[in-house]
Structure 1
Amino acid sequence: MASMHSKELISNLSDSVKREFKEQKYILSYDEFLEVFSKEPRKLIRNSAEYMLDMFKYFGVSEVKYAHNITKRHFKLFERVRGKNKPAIIGQEEAHENIYRVLEQFVRQGKVDKLVLLHGPNGSSKSSTAEALAHALEEYSKTEHGVVYKFNWIFPSDKIGYEGLGDNFSKHIGFGDESPTKNGNKSFAHLEDDEIMCKIVSEMKENPLFIMPKKERIELYKKFTENNLYAEDIPVYLEEGALGAKSKKIFDSLLVAYKGDLEKVLRHVQVERFFYSSRYRVGIASVEPQMAIDAQDRQVTMERNMQNIPPALQNIRIFEPQGELIDANRGFIEFADLLKRPLEAFKYLLTTIEKMNINLPSGIADLDMIMMASTNEKHLDAFKNSPDWPSFKGRFELVRVPYLLSAKLEQKIYEEDIKIIEKTKKIGPHSLILLAKWAVLTRLRQPDPDYYDPGLRNLIARLDPYDKQALYDGNEPSNTYTEIEKGLLKKNVEDILKESQSSVAYEGRFGASPREMKMLLYFAAQNERHDSLSAIALFDEIEKLTRDRTIYDYLQFEPRGGYHDYREFIKYIKTQYAIHFHKEFLSALNLYDELQYVKALQRYMRNVTAYIKKEKILNDITGRNEEPNENTMEEMETLMGATGNKREIRERLVAKIASWRVERPLDELNFAKVFEIELSTIAKRIYESKEEEIKKIKTAMMMHGSEDYNNMPKEIFQLCENTFDNLEKVFNYTRKNAWESLVFMNSSKK
């Protein structure tokens, strides 16, 4: 039974594969190919740039919101998971937009004539970007929209009606044979393997249209696009495309043998759909930084497996082109860390890029591919000082790939690693965002006030790294600024981001690498002193990382205006953690219900709005319109610690809501976020009134794990246990992490 079941399974699988093979048109005769071409001519004459540009469009776009009303186009192909430990690329929308624009430029001019050089600091996603493009090509080529064809030469055996491969040339597979045969003028494309004497593949993967003479293929295109918008221009690719040396020799020999009968020559053409593959180097190749030629060829005519070629071809030398450039033809090649190679090893690229061909012993091989390379900034700086740089810069399209300047985005980079880590260890609250904040802080540059309009210079001069980071994350600057000043800063975030981009030492070039931060995550997870990957465990690892300043450039910068001060940044994230935990600890004590005070604030703002507009307000209980309740307003203002002119206080709070609505017109009004500072003040005042009670519980909880903890009065013990439970269930701490955080918070106040 099991055996029958297996046979049935294999039979069904086989039928499915055969059906897909037929539906996908994997193998076509030349006639069948022209039939496909007639229906969608543009799709089948795309060069590599058009193909990749269509690929970008195929996977779609969305918008990503950055800081304060800055939105960027996001290409969805970069969010596609490329395999285990290769997550989506985060935050490089500008770099990807620049790649897209370069492709558009190639398409407009009808040819690819530059190498796209991705440059940036180590670990900034340069290689990941190239990998994502290669992966997208693989997926796109499997779709009907991304169909792409190459061709093979087929020579049949005498089983199909020919008289074999003897010495009499007129009898060789119909060459010059005008007599009718069993096969007639049918294509050999669909012959079975045992009916084929010899199959010669074209390593260049040329477009099958190039088999047709130039004049005829152009006329055919005009015919098929008579009512098509694309008919007004003949594509450069169609007009200038040519067969490789190997296929050209075979074509010419067959044409001579058949006395100019093109129809008979085309019988030998088997059109084959192919799929891009990085693994098998089909249309995609990657060149590592090593001294090696990227294309060569070898003679194959005399090889044993070529002995069955027809005599008409045995008197010509057939060469098989090889190498990464050949493998990548009609697709994409990446030169990883290009500038690590000796200059002599890639000088040939100058003429290769300019002419998009390469000289081989057998002739010139025309190339059609997107060339991309990566390099770090140090190697690029050195290369710019080379006497050869002027020759190369006209053939390079530079695309910068910097470190991220948003902690919120930086945190997302770690998410794939976190998925692995959390299988064996819990992730503590705030750990990832604080690590991301520290990393981003090391990357920020002190702004130059002279870059800005005179009215902004004093404001920019006061901008410290912490407020700058808040702006880049789309958050509010600190209360060292007035509401008007905050509005000005938020309005000018884009200019602040652009300030250093024309500088060699641009913002995002230096600082902690995401690779290093990921390494810290794994080290913290392996730390046996902690039962979770907690912020406290990460603080330990950051301090270890920074002990030897000679290892990383950014640790050697002299602090200036609060910037480049990695030690202060460590203190800052520790303080932030203590603040966060303190708030959560107090909440876990159930002494303060934020929701209750949010509702109170909403009532307060209803009264304030009516007060400002000099309107009456509906009393929910009496159902009457009444004057705004002064007692309600004053009580809340006392809790918020607001002093001064009442009208000014109230107008300032109304302006906060107006500002939120202007900046986030599509978002629902979030009272807790708008009045975060006011709510924090309210909570602080409430806790201050219960300071002694809180201190007693905190001291008791720090005794956890000792004999004294278990022997304390039942009422205190239960309150401690309830607080620990709330920290675990509501805020996701482990019991040990909660205890460590209490000790940490207590020591940080000393």
Structure 2
Amino acid sequence: MIMEDGRALINLIAQRQNIEEYQKEHWEGSFEEYLEIVARSPAVARNSWQRVYDMVMSYGQRTLEGGREKLIRYNFFDDPIQDGKDGVFGLTRPLMDLVNAFMSAAQGYGIERRVLLLHGPVGSSKSTIARLLKKGLEHYSRTDEGALYTYGWVDDEDPTNIIPCPMHEEPLKLIPRADRAELLQKLSTPEFKIKIEGDLNPFCRRVYNDKMRKYGGDWTRVIQDVRVRRLLFSEQDRVGIGTFQPKDEKNQDSTELTGDINYRKIAELGSDSDPRAFNFDGEFNVANRGLIEFIEVLKLDVAFLYDLLGASQEHKIKPKKFAQTDIDEVIIGHTNEPEYRKLQSNEFMEALRDRTVKIDVPYVTRLSDEVRIYEKDFNSNRVTGKHIAPHTLEIAAMWAILTRLEEPKNASLTLLQKLKLYDGKSLPGFTEENIKELKEEAHREGMQGISPRYVQDKISNALVAHPEATSINPFMVVNELESGLKHHSLINSEELRGHYRQLLTVVKEEYEDIVKNEVQRAIAADEAAMTRLCGNYIDNVKAYTQKETVINKFTGQPEEPDERLMRSIEEKIGIRESRKDDFRREIMNYIGALAIEGKKFDYKTNERLQKALELKLFEDQKDSIKLTSLVSKVVDQETQQKIDVVKSRLIRDFGYNDESATDVLNYVASIFARGTTKSSS
């Protein structure tokens, strides 16, 4: 039985295998066959910058609503490869700057000779962007449109053995320099012009020269000893993707970047300058044709920076005991602000500053994007056994955004209103141009404040700190956020700590308004009652605007329009006495326009009217429900039934579970008990 189960599992895997795909990815052939591939598809000979740019563009793009400014969102940064696991939310402009740099470099305008430096505060997605690019290149190299090739040499002593090129170089580099221009012109097309720069690496140069001597200078026989193969990038296998992280300054060794001598082979070969006695396994070597990431690049020792300067500006590295060696790779580094300030103030680092293209990667300043960051890690599906009450992540995100914003110079605008404007909400008197001005006047916005990591940690704490609860709510998370401020390592002043605490008070007040509104809507969510109230209001407005009477449904007698009813609804949304006629005509014109199109009026299509009706119905019904009785221990059966109906609506319409709905009702009841409710909130 065990053997049969094992065989069944093996068969299951066997059915999922794609042998044809594997063979395509591991294609091998002659140099002649490779030239035929290039003739059919010249793009296989792209350089690293062209490949990265094409990889990003292969996933498409979309235009976002951004007022007058055209904003482009590149789908690649949503991480379609891993179903959004490393998706970057927001940061549309910084990502546009990054892709523009790739495009400029791909076209040879100069940025290909620079280090791209992602600069921003801790936790602003710099590492995520670099990780996305590395994973993207790995995946792209396995696709037909992202295919690229390298080569190896037939071993003279054992023809069955192929010695790989240690730096995975482009096979077209084997074409003699004197013949390159003519041959590459024949292989190029009007859409893509092939350009091959640089010479063979020291190892392949040695093998090439040995074989030229062996065959008496007959290049055509030399290339018969070349085997071309498909190249698949892999960070784990150290092929085409390099990552370098500085260690303790005393232990830094530049050979980690450019390779080192293999001392065991020196005895065998008799020379330490024989390239066969050298390991071309530094990060620059293995990242050739692809991308190298420098983590905290500005922590590098000065000796490393010389290598970095040559690699970026000249596309060359200097392995020990060998001539300068050509490389082709995208160099991306990232750093935080203190390190970058140190770079700016260090006159000895002027050469590096001149060879970097800085791309600011700030914190997100749009609330909806920040919420998505937390939803990625904390949602009901992934947090087993815990329900996250509505607005929990939103309130945490709101606080994080507020810490990153600068106080508006406009005294009539609060920080919370500024947050809402940035999130696409409209406020009277503020246009797209005003919002653009707000952003332009705030130079440090997004480069300061609380990191998403801190908030994620505190949400995690809230999940484990209440094992008995089936749900976590905003207050649990806010308490964790506040208690953690005492020990936050990046807050270096009591004044800043006090400011952050005050912002927590702001979001608590905002949450109070949100849940009061939800409970009001749940109480007023009687569709039949809403429809009746709306119908009654519209009948009276119609009679008022047309100077007619209304037929009383009970007495059948004509009556004057009910001004008290109409005003009791209109006042809920701030319609002043002097504006009531305009509002009523606006409603009737809207209904008339729908009638012309053969459509029936529905109050749900008019947001302001719907809100007014909900508030009026809530006011009419709240006393019969006696919500304030929730804070007492004794509730009569009839009231309890009404409360249960409201709770079921909170669960059905707003995403609460039983525990969180009870918590919210109790909380709102306590507000009513304090007498702090606002009639218009």
TM-score, structure 2 length as denominator? 0.83
| Residue of structure 2 aligned with 1:492, choices 424, 428, 434 | 434
**2:324 paired with 1:364:** yes
Q: 2:57–2:76: 8 Å Cα contact kept in structure 1?
A: no
Residues 247-291 of structure 1 show CA distances to partners (whole Å, capped at 9, x for unaligned) of 111111101110111121111101111111122221011111222
Q: CA deviation at 1:328?
A: 0.6
Quote the RMSD (CA, aligned, Å).
4.0
Partner of 1:645: 578
Partner of 1:378: 338
Q: Distance in 2 between matches of 1:655 and 1:218?
A: 76
Residues 151-191 of structure 1 show CA distances to partners (whole Å, capped at 9, x for unaligned) of 11112667xxxxxxxxxxxxxxxxxxxxxxxxxxxxxxxxx
Q: CA deviation at 1:219?
A: 1.4
SS in 2 for 1:388: helix
Q: 1:510–1:553: 8 Å Cα contact kept in structure 2?
A: no
Q: 1:525–1:533: 8 Å Cα contact kept in structure 2?
A: yes
Q: Distance in 2 between matches of 1:672 and 1:656?
A: 16
Partner of 2:206: 249
**2:367 paired with 1:403:** no
**2:366 paired with 1:394:** no
| Residue of structure 2 aligned with 1:521, choices 436, 459, 463 | 459
Partner of 1:175: none
Counterpart code for 1:400: D
Partner of 1:147: 147
**2:399 paired with 1:438:** yes
Q: Distance in 1 between matches of 2:201 and 2:291?
A: 18
Q: CA deviation at 1:472?
A: 0.4
Q: Distance in 1 between matches of 2:190 and 2:539?
A: 60
Partner of 2:234: 277
Q: 2:530–2:614: 8 Å Cα contact kept in structure 1?
A: no
Aligned residue runs from structure 1 range 518-667, under 5 A = 518-528=456-466, 530-547=469-486, 551-553=490-492, 556-557=495-496, 565-590=499-524, 593=527, 596=530, 600=534, 631=561, 635-641=565-571, 642-646=575-579, 649-650=582-583
SS in 1 for 2:76: helix
Partner of 2:307: 348
**2:636 paired with 1:675:** no
Q: CA deviation at 1:20?
A: 3.2
TM-score, structure 1 length as denominator? 0.76
Q: Distance in 2 between matches of 1:558 and 1:18?
A: 60
Change (3 A) 1:379 1:606: farther
Change (3 A) 1:723 1:702: farther
Q: Distance in 2 between matches of 1:258 and 1:598?
A: 98
Partner of 1:115: 115
Residues 458-483 of structure 1 show CA distances to partners (whole Å, capped at 9, x for unaligned) of xx342211111111011122xxxxx4
Q: CA deviation at 1:607?
A: 7.4
Aligned residue runs from structure 1 range 81-230, under 5 A = 86-109=85-108, 112-155=112-155, 196=160, 198-225=161-188, 228-230=189-191
Partner of 1:267: 224
Q: CA deviation at 1:113?
A: 0.6
Partner of 2:49: 49
SS in 1 for 2:117: strand
Give the gaps of 5 or more residues in structure 1.
159-194, 308-313, 449-459, 478-482, 560-564, 620-628, 658-668
Q: Distance in 1 between matches of 2:290 and 2:602?
A: 49
Aligned residue runs from structure 1 range 462-501, under 5 A = 462-477=412-427, 483=428, 485-486=429-430, 489-500=431-442
Partner of 2:593: none
Change (3 A) 1:723 1:396: same
Partner of 2:282: 323
Q: Distance in 2 between matches of 1:531 and 1:11?
A: 39
Q: Distance in 1 between matches of 2:81 and 2:16?
A: 30
Change (3 A) 1:63 1:85: closer
Q: 1:592–1:683: 8 Å Cα contact kept in structure 2?
A: no
SS in 2 for 1:442: helix
Change (3 A) 1:135 1:647: same
Q: Distance in 2 between matches of 1:292 and 1:98?
A: 33
Q: Distance in 1 between matches of 2:83 and 2:496?
A: 36
Change (3 A) 1:224 1:599: farther
Q: 2:150–2:229: 8 Å Cα contact kept in structure 1?
A: yes
Partner of 2:293: 334
Q: Distance in 2 between matches of 1:12 and 1:741?
A: 50
SS in 2 for 1:90: coil
Counterpart code for 2:650: L
Q: Distance in 2 between matches of 1:139 and 1:580?
A: 44
Partner of 2:59: 59
Residues 224-249 of structure 1 show CA distances to partners (whole Å, capped at 9, x for unaligned) of 33xx3157xx65x42x3321111111
Change (3 A) 1:299 1:716: closer
Partner of 1:664: none
Q: 1:300–1:318: 8 Å Cα contact kept in structure 2?
A: yes
SS in 2 for 1:348: helix
Change (3 A) 1:305 1:279: farther
Residues 337-368 of structure 1 show CA distances to partners (whole Å, capped at 9, x for unaligned) of 11233444434322332111111122211111
Counterpart code for 1:35: E
Partner of 2:387: 426
Change (3 A) 1:104 1:267: same
